[in-house]
Structure formats: C-alpha cells, structure tokens
Amino acid sequence: MPPEDKGPGPAVGVSRFDAGRSHATPAPVRPDARPDPAELYAAVDLGTNSCRMLIAQPKGNQLHVVDSFHKSVQLGNGLEHSGRLSRQSMARTVGALKICRRKIETHEVSRMRLVATEACRRATNAAEFIDVVDRETGLALEIIEPEEEARLAVVSCAPLVSQKAEQVMVVDIGGGSTELVWIDLTRVPPLEKARAIMRLHAGFAPDEGDPFPRAKVVDWISIPLGVATLKDQFRDVTDDAARFALMSWHFEECLAEFSPYEDAAGDVDPGFQIIGTSGTVTTVAATHLNLRRYDRNKVDGLRMTGAQIDRVIRGYLAQGPEGRRNDPRIGRDRHTLIMSGAAILQALLRVWPTDRLSVADRGLREGLLYAQMSADGVLEDGPF
C-alpha cells in the first residue's frame, strides 16, 4: 500500500477474469441453496510460508465462511540468503493460487482483495513474480505495507478482546515477519471495546472527528523475522536446544525498539491482554489441549497462562526434531517451524509475562474481509 493510501476503500473486484461485472442490479433469487454471489467477499493472504484464502458473506456483525483454502507453499524458501524468490517456490505458489481462482470462479465472487506480505516485500524479483501470477492465474496480487498488515491482524482479533482489558497487545507471528500492536482501551466503555478495535481498519492515526469511542494505538512494530526467516538465520546451529535459545534471545533483542510504556515490561497487570494470532500459537494451544485432530472451535478464543505455554515448549524441546516430526498435534507442515515460532513466543512472554494470552485462529484473511465489509457498510452494528 503506498504511503498516501488511507486504507481499504470500497471492496472491488481485482481479478482480470471477472472484470466489468456489474452489481448495480440485485441478483434474482437463486433456486438452489448456494449463497448469492452478490453477498460474497474473498480474501487471499500470501505469506512467506503459506497461501490462505477465505470466501465469506456478512451475517449480522459476523462472517459466515462459505469456502476456504490453506496450503504451505514455502514461497520464502532461500530468500534469506539469495534475496530472490526461487523458480520452484514461485511455481508452487502459482499452483496454489490457481486453486484459489477456481474457487472464486465457482462461487462467482467479484469483491475481493488478494495480498502478499513480507516475502514479496523483500524479494528483488517480486515484480516478476506478480507478473507471473497475473499471467498464469488472472489474479492481481497486491503487496501491502507492514502497517496495513498489522492493522488487518488487529481487526481480525477484535471479537476476542476482553471487556475487562485496558491494555491489549496483538501479536501476529508470520512466516517472514512478526507484527506487534499495543492498544490503549482505558477510555473505551467495556461493551464498545471490540467495535473500537474494528474501527482501526481505516488506520492507526486517531481521527479527531470520530464520534465513537476510539482505541488508541500507543505503538506498533513490524520485525522482519518470522518462523521461516528466523529458522533460516540459525540453520547452521546443529544443537537443537542451543539453536532454540539463540533464536529466542535474538528475537528479544529485536524487541528493544518496541516499548510502548516504560513500566509495561516485567509486571503482570490484570488489565493487560495479549492476543496471539499465528500457526505457532494455535499449534501450542492444540498441543496443550492434546488434540490429535485439530478443532478450531476448541482453539480459537482459548486463554492460556504463561506456565501452560512454557510447559508445551519444554515438551517440544524434550521431543527433539524426530519426536516433533511424528507428533500429530504439530503436523507435518509445521514441525520444522514450530521451534522458531516457539522461540518468538517465549521471548514475548519473557518481556511481557501474562496469564491472559488469548489464542486467535484468525488473521489477515479475516481482517481483509472485515475491512471490505465495513467499508461497504454491510456489517451490522452491535457487540460481537
């Protein structure tokens, strides 16, 4: 997103294959049970490690998911050392995006945003990759800036904000970067906290003319280290425990530039809530619950204490690489990345210990959908 862009505007179709389709006339009542395409929105989040898509329609003040897709594409493989996206990584990703296109066509969706994040921000051949995607799939992929990535992650987590929270930190641990946003809610009434967070989709800067109670973004940061890039930086360290310790302490050093309040670190404040959104956090939660088969309904919104998280991480270390590879609670796509993600999580909890970490199985896709629907005015007001 260019600096002058003030955030997502009205949702528009951005894909070549359905350009020009009009929505001025209401669609006729459909004879089958499928959702009306005029009500559907799509969001694609192409990260350093994964390609994720959601197709949803507004239902009151919530999203009703119609279709979804998630595939590990490892787009950022080798990027840390070469500075370029490899041919193999691009081919894998284009294959996944072709599946996204088919799903979008099947549901006849025309309002969508398809965004790429850190890997494409850093790659010297990102423009070439965007052209390949357009040519091979007809999809117009948009590289967004770190601030928009951060605020979309924040918006997606709004329903999980506690009515008792006065300070909230949203942490999005991605494949190539980690975003942290510290939000002050002390002036927002309890029943308005979630909606105040939602209003941040338009930007972090305060709007003096906003008549509604507004969440205040005290500070935010995008650290160019995620589960894939941090793992690559320490790939030459052969000892499992030593590599984990080095990754965690290195990430903690990167947090030095982010200190919203001088007295915030080191104290457990009952009014402080961390919300973690990432594959790392949901995997730790699934392990804590001993889920052999992942269940989003049990994970999303779960609250974990620092002691519970530490117990899971110590268990991962005791397993070693082979044990983690065969652990069904971690999964084949996650076992090589879980320790770098755990190192980031451990560093965060050393700096900001809390017994109120909320697990969010949601992220950029949901933020993109909420932002589009809010801009179009199709979400109802009211508490989440």
* CATH code for position 38: 3.30.420.40
The alpha carbon of 261 is separated from its chain's Cα centroid by a whole number of angstroms, namely 25
340 and 273 within one domain: yes
Number of neighbouring beta carbons within 10 Å of residue 292: 10
172 and 79 within one domain: no
228 and 104 within one domain: no
By CB neighbour count within 10 A (0-12 exposed, 13-18 middle, 19+ buried), where does 154 fall?
buried
pLDDT at 217: 92
Number of neighbouring beta carbons within 10 Å of residue 146: 18
Last residue of a domain, one of 144, 170, 189: 144
Region 129-153 average pLDDT: 96
pLDDT over 70, % of the chain: 86
Q: Indicate whether 383 belongs to any domain.
A: no
161 and 250 within one domain: yes
Per-position b or e across 301-336, b if 16+ CB within 10 A of its CB: bbbbebebbeebbebbeebeeeebeebebbbeebbb
pLDDT at 33: 66
Q: Are strands 111-116 and 41-46 parallel, antiparallel or unpaired?
A: parallel
pLDDT at 270: 66
We report the CATH number of the domain holding residue 235 as: 3.30.420.150
How large is the greatest C-alpha to C-alpha distance in the chain, in angstroms? 63
pLDDT at 31: 46
Beta bridge partners of 220: 181
Considering its fold, how many domains does the chain have in total?
Answer: 2
Strands (E), the chain: 41-46, 50-59, 62-72, 111-116, 142-143, 167-173, 178-184, 216-223, 272-277, 303-304, 357-360
- On average, the pLDDT of the chain sits at 86
Q: Say if residue 350's pLDDT is above 70.
A: yes
135 and 159 within one domain: no
Q: Say if residue 12's pLDDT is above 60.
A: no
220 and 132 within one domain: no
Q: What is the pLDDT of residues 154-171, one digit of tens each?
A: 999 999 999 999 999 999
Q: Say if residue 23's pLDDT is above 50.
A: no
Residue 290 sits in which domain range? 155-364
Q: What is the pLDDT of residues 293-327, one digit of tens each?
A: 999 999 999 999 999 999 999 999 999 999 999 99
318 and 249 within one domain: yes
| 201: confidence class by pLDDT, cuts 50, 70, 90 | confident
State pTM to two decimals: 0.84
